[in-house]
Amino acid sequence: MQWNEEAEEIMRERFGGDNEMALATCRGNVPSVRTVNATYWEGCFYVITHGLSRKMEEIGDNPTVALSGDWFTCHGEAASLGWFGREENRALAAHLRQAFASWIDNGHNDFADENTIILQVRVTDALLLSHGRRFEK
């Protein structure tokens, strides 16, 4: 089945909050995968991470990534939106604070550090499974 509004509604319901997902990057011929907390909003996944991490180095070399979790897999184009505290990120940061409310202020993140960034993954192609149906983008 082609991607449609029903698929988007499932995405919002399933991934609109806090989700642990596998994020894969590739540098040269060497893949890397790690678990991240991600939330889906307006066609993209968002992750709070450190701008100097290995994942961000790998994304700098190759912005094509893969995400997988809860009967869903996709490819996407990843980009840093910069520091979490930037004025331009204010509305998105508020959304992320709500999505990640259960852990965002547990001391793991240093929001004064300008290397605490928002990673955006714009979904380019995807496979979503729901109740025996298959949605492809």
| pLDDT tens digits along 100-123 | 999 999 988 999 999 999 999 999
Region 21-31 average pLDDT: 97
pLDDT confidence of residue 39? 99
Beta bridge partners of 21: 36
CA–CA separation, 4 vs 27, rounded Å?
33
Alpha helices (runs of H) in 35-123, residue ranges in sequence order: 54-61, 90-99
CA–CA separation, 47 vs 119, rounded Å?
5
pLDDT confidence of residue 1? 87
Burial class (CB in 10 A: 0-12, 13-18, 19+), 24: middle
| pTM tops 0.75 | yes
* pLDDT tens digits for range 63-103: 999 999 999 999 999 999 999 999 999 999 999 999 999 99
Burial class (CB in 10 A: 0-12, 13-18, 19+), 48: buried
pLDDT confidence of residue 60? 97
> Yes or no: is domain 5-136 CATH 2.30.110.10?
yes
